[in-house]
Amino acid sequence: MSQEIREVSPTGKAIIAVVLIPTIAALNYVGGVIVEALKAPIWGDTWATILGTFIGGFWVGAAGGFLYNIIMALTVWGLPSWVWGFANVAIAAIAWFMMKMGWTDLKKPMTWIMMIVLYGLVYPAFTTAISIGIFGGGPLWKPLAAAVYTATLSSTGNFFLANYVQNAFTEIIDKPISFIISVIIAQRIPKRFVLAK
């Protein structure tokens, strides 16, 4: 005799979301710390935003990512950095769009193509606008990225293009890897934690 097993959650989804959002913010933060400890070649502080979107939906992921940036702006990065919160909202929006389009299966070539196009090429246009408007643009303080910036600037003389190429250079590796990490983790999460439909 087969009997359907239903998992019962003792609390409402709204309160779970309220606790999930700071957890995502903290995971983003600790993700960055682990990257430093393992010397992994990524930023590693946005995968939890993508994971939060897979688990709790767009608003939970976006709010968790935004909160992470607010906390960092209020402590380590300085006030203007709060605007990077919108970059996390954009990351959550792309993740939600990819989830809705069914582009989360890593075996499908379309997932890889869209992941690189959206996170590696479209998203850097957004971060370039923020980095020039709020931080004045200029080279990052990572040697390789700064070298790419200098090479583009000296060969084209185009300040905006140099900033875009520098951003694309860093994001085209970091964000798709963050997306892949989130997909792999999301596959291992028990169904009872998934709020998103």
By C-beta, is 18 or 101 nearer to other proteins? 18
3 state SS of 1? coil
Torsion on CA atoms 193, 186, 30, 87, rounded to nearest 10: -100
Chosen residue from 27, 89, 92, 98 binding other proteins by CB under 8 A: 27
By C-beta, is 98 or 181 nearer to other proteins? 181
Return the residue matching tokens 């950095």: 81
Helix and strand counts by DSSP (H, E) for the chain: 8, 0
Q: Is 22 in the site for other proteins (CB under 8 A)?
A: yes
Q: Is 77 in the site for other proteins (CB under 8 A)?
A: yes
In the Cβ-directed half-sphere of 125, how many Cα atoms lie within 13 Å? 4
Q: Is 21 in the site for other proteins (CB under 8 A)?
A: yes
By C-beta, is 78 or 102 nearer to other proteins? 78
Q: Is 179 in the site for other proteins (CB under 8 A)?
A: no
Identity of residue 131: S
Site mask for other proteins (CB under 8 A), range 44-63, x = bound: x--xx--x---x-------x
Chosen residue from 50, 71, 90, 91 binding other proteins by CB under 8 A: 71
Return the residue matching tokens 């767009």: 58
Q: Is 141 in the site for other proteins (CB under 8 A)?
A: yes
Q: Is 132 in the site for other proteins (CB under 8 A)?
A: yes
Residue 2: CB minimum distance to other proteins, A: 27
In the Cβ-directed half-sphere of 121, how many Cα atoms lie within 13 Å? 7
By C-beta, is 113 or 155 nearer to other proteins? 155
Buried b (16+ CB within 10 A) or exposed e, 134-149: eeebebbeeeebeebb
